[in-house]
């Protein structure tokens, strides 16, 4: 068994957190360093670094947790719109090696830009490259 992650310690109450909600297999709490008010993390109680390493059950339940958190944030922030992000592994910017969804309520007072906008988009779509990659991906 690997060392308990920071989020496992939070789930177990060893490290304090500001809980938003929890289910049998997931736990949701406010991010300590919010990008916008209401920024919440939803984590599986099962410890795994990447989504693909989770049991199917935990993975399915996690989406119920996301929607439950959205329901609660909707009431508080009077919005139906959210930015949702997962940094699935260190190369994606994951700092805490335990799967977590970032849920951020978006309101008229915040900008409408996506929070995670990967820039350097070419102005004209490269259809040749898209077709070639599409073919490759379909063959796997
Ligand atoms: P990542 O970069 O791994 O996708 O996101 C990790 C998130 O965990 C960050 O947004 C960071 O602010 C949050 N975080 C790190 N340590 C703690 C902590 O001790 N408590 C809480 N509530 N959030 C944390």
What residues are annotated to the active site?
100
CA atoms of 31 and 39, how far apart (whole Å): 6
Atom of ligand 1 nearest to the CA of 96: 3
Nearest to 99, CA basis, from 113, 89, 108: 89
Q: What are phi and psi of 105, to 5 degrees?
A: -65, 140
Q: Where along the chain do its domains lie?
A: 6-138
Residue nearest atom 18 of ligand 1, based on CA coordinates:
32
Instruction: Read off the pLDDT band of 121 (50, 70, 90).
Output: low
CA atoms of 55 and 118, how far apart (whole Å): 30
User: Which helix or strand (DSSP H or E) is residue 71 part of?
Assistant: helix 56-77
The pTM of this model reads: 0.90
CATH class for the region spanning 6-138: alpha beta
CA atoms of 33 and 42, how far apart (whole Å): 15
Query: 85 CA distance to ligand 1 centroid (A)?
Result: 13
Query: 6 CA distance to ligand 1 centroid (A)?
Result: 9
Q: Quick check: 18 pLDDT over 80?
A: yes
């Amino acid at each position: 068994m690997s060392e308990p992650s920071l989020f496992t310690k939070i789930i177990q109450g060893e490290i304090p957190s500001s809980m938003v909600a929890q289910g049998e297999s997931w736990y949701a709490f406010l991010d300590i360093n919010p990008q916008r008010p209401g920024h919440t993390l939803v984590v599986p109680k099962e410890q795994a670094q990447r989504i693909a390493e989770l049991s199917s059950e935990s993975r399915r339940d996690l989406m119920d947790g996301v929607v439950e958190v959205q329901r609660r944030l909707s009431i508080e922030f009077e919005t139906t719109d959210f930015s949702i992000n997962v940094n699935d592994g260190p190369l994606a910017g994951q700092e805490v090696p335990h799967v977590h969804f970032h849920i951020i309520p978006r309101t008229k007072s915040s900008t409408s830009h996506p929070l995670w906008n990967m820039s350097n988009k070419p102005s004209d779509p490269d259809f040749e490259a898209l077709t070639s990659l599409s073919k490759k991906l379909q063959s796997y």
